A and B are shown apart, each in its own frame.
Chain A
Amino acid sequence: MAIRWGSYPVKGLHDELIQARGKPRPAASQLCRFLHGLTDKEIEEHKAAADLAIKLMGITFTVYSEQDGGAIDRAWPFDIIPRVIDSREWKQVERGLVQRVKALNLFIADLYDQQQVVKDGVFPAELLQDSVNFRPQCVGVKPPQGIWAHICGSDLVRDKDGTIYVLEDNLRVPSGVSYMIENRQVMKRVFPDMFENENILPVDDYSSKLYDMLASLSPRKVAKPVVAVLTPGIYNSAYYEHSYLAQQMGAELVEGSDLLVDDDDCVTMRTIDGPKRVDVIYRRIDDLYLDPEAFLPESTLGVPGLMRAWKAGKVALANAPGAGVADDKVVYAYVPDLIRYYLKEEPLIPNVPTWRCIYKDERDYVLEHIHELVVKPANESGGYGMLIGPQATAEECEKFKKLIRSNARNYVAQPMLTLSTAPTLVGNRVEPRHLDLRPFILSGKETYVTTGGLTRVALRKGSTVVNSSQGGGSKDTWIVDTEGGN
């Protein structure tokens, strides 16, 4: 009897599995009973089995290390205790995400077209002018079905009162979905009995949904359009995922040097039988590296002429170049307004209250309360360049004040949420660790939301940084149907 829920601390927190001292939430009760029944030895065995599965399946992520002179592969850090969400609650979240992504797509399409949202005074023109992710090269382009952000990864967090907030939207090249699928594979190997006895909704239809969505974008109406995943290559931190998704979809995994844009604006890849036309590219390269003719001329990752081909409608790109304009942390603050503006609906999932440093009054508030706030630069991902006020030294706070004053547009601040926790294995005991959730939303002819998503957990005690590059791990996410049947 190694795991005793009676001594598991939940005071002042929202825990995903335990609602009050010794009392599991209904959707997690079977799981908690099962875990409680495990001996120390069994826990160790399960943990070892999971580690082995991860090693043998070769699930890795790449970190860049100056010290080790380049990129190294690390085994994916994984906690064997899943995070559980009741399917009834999940359905609400799903609806909220669909609503949000719909509004974001309308917003992007508008920005590259008439900019009605600016004319109507809902989104300030100066923000658009300053946006580092707005691509003038994309103005006037009409991608198929009017969709720009085909794949969106939105980060959700839950505060101590149980409210779920959207923390940010990732519209450029969001990653992590392969780990969501792999986590489930590992869990099925390690705890097959749990899956027999519970109604855990499956997650592995993502790849086929992704393929269908991508294929539907094909400019040539052929039975089997050629879909390719464009990767920056093996040293990219998400290379594992690029390769995984290509494999699962039966798509070609290509690097920039494999592709060629001809004079007729068609994209071809170099094959053993000569050039072969490509219809759809799921690109996992940032805008600026996509095409040295249109963006950074020194980029060797991209394909010269790709933008030309895309504008000519000869190839579909997902996500569309320029979609990132809607995922900076400043635009984020406007999303609730955008939902009201485009859909005439109230947002179903709230934003975290956000102060925009571009406005003097909001900036003054941030500068004054910096030690209580989380300050984020608009265009960094992976948790880099952030200040967590309550945990920062006075010096760090001063440094950030200077940064904010010199580049106000680039910063937003939010209150320090107390992220929800879930029991996480530490040795063979459990301790609460903070976590978030990244569901993925596919937009094509239809909209699809992953069942749950990737739960990322901060493995260090008290930490809220969940990025795998900075000591985060992950858990399997179970959407459990407690009503029986689907």
Chain B
Amino acid sequence: MLSRVANTLYWIGRYIERAENTARLISVTGHLQLDLPKGIRQGWKSIVKILGNEESFRALGIENDERQIMKFLISDLNHPGSILSALDLARENARTVRDVLPREAWEELNTLYQTVKAEAQKGYWQKNRHTYLQQVVRGAQTITGILSGSMLHDETYQFVRLGRNLERADMTTRIIDVRSADLVPPDEHTLTPFENIQWMSVLKSLTGYQMYRRSVLEPVRRRDVLEFLFKERRFPRAILHCLGEIEGCALTLKKNTRVVASIRELAQTVEAVDPGALSQAELHALIDDIQLGLAGIDEAVRETYFA
């Protein structure tokens, strides 16, 4: 496979995953707002922080205008982190590799982009937002499904999968980082009803609530949630699971020594920690390390296969 094409496929995987996660995040945050008493509502800014777009957000001078914030997060093409930007980039990338993508996947991506663009207004207001975002999630899942179900599982597919899982791991760390810092009340052992709700929302951002209940059989608590999101290999959005997927991709490729080494190193770091026992500051430092590790994997992939 051409190096240029491999690079493009990797980014298609990343952008589609990014669009999906952003939609989930907005949706769950919206629901959380409604559940929390007015005094401790977080507002929408935490999402901006999670997505790492504070700078461009501040540049726009938007305050607490929900519609403006939604526009920024959903359809602002000048903002590279918006859902529409991610889909636009995925589509532009896909356009250049249409010969290797299954036709249905291209059609679905094209349709999703057109719909998300045409109906962006619906996402600006509470009333239709959930349905609108659901469409994004469903569209992204459909594309992932088509790719998985109809593409030859050769290198071509492995690069999409690699990109998807790297992005997913990255999103999971971001959500944990910002949400836990923001939401955890000072006394970690007080199981206030709101803390419970907040950790539920973290799980829900990652569609992990139901699976958490099945897997953990404990009430929703910081310690168990962190353990679950870092280390539950059976949960597709947990960090260790994503790393396992990434390793699986790398093992199918030639010349993979450096890439595999970087993945294993990071996986060992994650396995060795007990995230539930960490203080907030320690947790934040760990997440920083993990993000550096992910960046290292990205660099190894780039230099080995795309150069």
Q: Inside 8 A of A80's CB, which chain B residues have their CB? A: none
Q: Does B255 contact A (CB under 8 A)?
A: yes
Nearest A residue to B95, CB-CB: A234
0/1 interface trace, chain A 270-310, chain B, CB 8 Å (1 if under): 11110000000000000000000000000000000000000
Whether A272 touches B1, Cβ cut-off 8 Å, given contacts A56-B110, A57-B107, A58-B106, is yes
Q: Mark A198-234, 1 if CB is under 8 A from B, else 0.
A: 0000000000000000000000000000000100001
Instruction: Write the A234-257 contact mask toward B (1 if CB under 8 angstroms, else 0).
Output: 100000000110110001111101
Check if A247 sits within 8 Å of B98, measured CB to CB. yes
Complex contact A56–B100 (CB within 8 A): no
Given A246-B99, A251-B99, A253-B99, the answer on whether A58 and B1 have CB atoms closer than 8 Å is no
Bound complex: CA A229 to CA B98 (Å): 13
Beta-carbon contact of A243 and B4 below 8 Å: no
Q: Residue B98 contacts which of A56, A243, A258, A270 (CB distance < 8 angstroms)? A: A243
Q: In the complex, A270 Cα to B5 Cα: how many Å?
A: 10
User: Which among A229, A253, A272 is the interface contact of B6 at CB below 8 angstroms?
Assistant: A272
Partner of A271, one of B2, B99, B106: B2
Interface hits, B128-171 → A, CB 8 Å: 155
Residue-wise interface mask of A (49-93) relative to B, using a CB-CB cutoff of 8 A (1 in contact, 0 not): 000000111100000000000000000000000000000000000
- The answer to whether A28 has its CB under 8 Å from any CB of chain B is no
- Check: A331 CB closer than 8 A to any chain B CB: no
B253 CB-CB contact with A under 8 Å: yes
In the complex the two chains form, is B4's CB within 8 Å of A255's CB? yes
Residues of A within 8 A of B155 (CB): 272
In the assembled complex, A269 has its CB within 8 A of some CB on chain B: yes
B107 touches A271 (CB 8 A): no
In the assembled complex, the CB of B205 is this many whole angstroms from the nearest CB of chain A, namely 31
> Chain A interface secondary structure, helix, strand, loop or mixed?
mixed
CA of A255 to CA of B95 in the docked complex: distance in angstroms? 14
Contact of A273 among B96, B111, B254 (CB under 8 A): B254
Instruction: Write the nearest CB–CB distance from B41 to chain A, whole angstroms.
Output: 41
Q: In whole Å, how far is B135's beta carbon from the nearest beta carbon of chain A?
A: 15
Q: Is B57 an interface residue (CB 8 A)?
A: no
Instruction: Please give, as numbers and ranges, the residues of chain A lying within 8 Å of B96 by CB-CB distance.
Output: 234, 243
Known A-B contacts A55-B114, A247-B100; A272 and B106 likewise in contact (beta carbons under 8 Å): no
Is the CB–CB distance between B107 and A270 below 8 Å? no
Does B3 sit at the interface, judged by CB under 8 A? yes
Instruction: Say yes or no for B209: interface residue by CB 8 A criterion.
Output: no
Using Cβ atoms and an 8 Å threshold, which residues of chain B touch A253? 5, 97, 99
* Residues of chain A lying within 8 A (CB to CB) of residue B100: 247
How many angstroms between the C-alpha atoms of A243 and B107 in the bound complex?
A: 14
Q: Is the CB of B98 within 8 A of A244?
A: yes
Distance A477 CA – B114 CA, assembled complex (angstroms)? 30
A284–chain B nearest beta-carbon distance, Å: 13
User: In the complex, what's the smallest C-beta–C-beta distance from B10 to chain A, in angstroms?
Assistant: 11
B31-42 interface bits toward A, Cβ cutoff 8 Å, 1 = contact, 0 = none: 000000000000
Question: A258 with B4: in contact, given A234-B95, A247-B100 (CB under 8 Å)?
Answer: yes
Which residues of B have CB within 8 Å of A56? 107, 110-111
The yes or no answer to B305 lying at the interface (CB within 8 A) is: yes
**Cα distance A253–B100 when bound, in Å?**
9
**A258-B5 Cα distance, complex, nearest whole Å:** 10
- Chain B, 2-32, contact with A by CB distance < 8 Å: what is the 0/1 string? 1111100000000000000000000000000
A-contacting residues, B224-266, CB 8 Å:
253-255
Complex Cα distance A19/B106, Å?
43
Q: Contact at B2–A254, with CB atoms within 8 Å?
A: yes
- A272 / chain B contacts, CB cutoff of 8 Å: 1-3, 6, 155, 253-255, 305-306
Q: Size class of A's contact patch? A: 20 to 34
A244-B98, A253-B99 given; A258·B114 CB < 8 A: no
* Shortest distance from the beta carbon of A160 to any chain B beta carbon, whole Å: 42
Docked Cα-Cα span, A119 to B148, in Å, equals 63
Residues in chain A near residue B98, CB distance under 8 A: 243-244, 247
CB <8 Å contact, B107 and A269? no
In whole Å, how far is B99's beta carbon from the nearest beta carbon of chain A? Answer: 4
Q: How far is the CA of A272 from the CA of B156 in the complex (A)?
A: 10
Q: Which residues of A contact B4 (CB under 8 A)?
A: 255, 257-258, 270
The chain B residue with its CB closest to the CB of A234 is B96
What B residues does A57 contact at CB under 8 A?
103, 107
> Given A243-B98, A243-B99, does the pair A270, B110 have CB atoms closer than 8 Å?
no
Q: Which B residue's beta carbon lies closest to that of A57? A: B107
Query: Which residues in A have their C-beta under 8 angstroms from that of B6?
Result: 272
**A449 nearest CB across to chain B (Å):** 25
Q: Which residue of A lies closest to B113 (CB)?
A: A58
Task: Report the minimal beta-carbon distance from A288 to chain B, rounded to whole angstroms.
Answer: 24
Per-residue contact bits, chain A 325-355, to B (CB 8 Å; 1 contact, 0 not): 0000000000000000000000000000000
Among B99, B107, B111, find the residue whose CB has the most chain A CB atoms closer than 10 A: B99
Q: Complex: how many Å from CA A229 to CA B114?
A: 29
B117 to chain A, nearest CB (A): 12
Known A-B contacts A243-B99, A247-B98, A272-B305; the reply to A58 vs B107 at CB < 8 A is yes
Q: Which residue of B lies closest to A246 (CB)?
A: B99
CB distance from A156 to the nearest CB of B (A): 30
Give Cα distance in the complex from A258 to B7, angstroms. 13
Docked complex: A398-415 residues within 8 A CB-CB of B: none
Give B142 Cβ to nearest chain A Cβ, in Å: 13
Q: Which residues of chain A (255-269) have a CB below 8 Å from chain B?
A: 255, 257-258, 269
CB distance from B294 to the nearest CB of A (A): 21
| Closest partner residue, chain B, to A53 (CB atom) | B107
Residues B99 and A273 in contact, CB atoms below 8 Å apart: no
Complex alpha-carbon distance, A255 and B110, angstroms: 23
CB distance from A26 to the nearest CB of B (A): 36
Chain A residues whose C-beta falls within 8 Å of the C-beta of B254 in the assembled complex:
272-273
Closest partner residue, chain B, to A228 (CB atom): B2
Once bound together, how far apart are the Cα atoms of A359 and B209, in whole Å? Answer: 85
List residues of chain A with CB within 8 A of the CB of B111: 56
Report yes or no: B99 in contact with A247, Cβ–Cβ below 8 A: yes
A269 neighbours in B (Cβ, 8 Å): 2
Q: Which residues of B contact A (CB under 8 A)?
A: 1-6, 95-100, 103, 106-107, 110-111, 114, 155, 253-255, 305-306
List 8 other contacts, CB 8 Å, given A247-B98, A271-B3. Answer: A243-B98, A243-B99, A271-B2, A272-B2, A272-B155, A272-B253, A273-B1, A273-B255
Query: Please, could you name 24 A-B residue pairs with CB atoms under 8 Å apart, sorted by A?
Result: A55-B114, A56-B107, A56-B110, A57-B107, A58-B106, A58-B107, A229-B99, A234-B95, A246-B99, A247-B100, A252-B2, A253-B5, A253-B97, A255-B4, A258-B3, A258-B4, A269-B2, A270-B2, A270-B3, A271-B2, A271-B3, A272-B254, A272-B255, A273-B1
What are the 5 tightest A-B residue pairs by CB atom distance, in nearest-first order? A247-B99, A246-B99, A272-B305, A243-B98, A253-B99
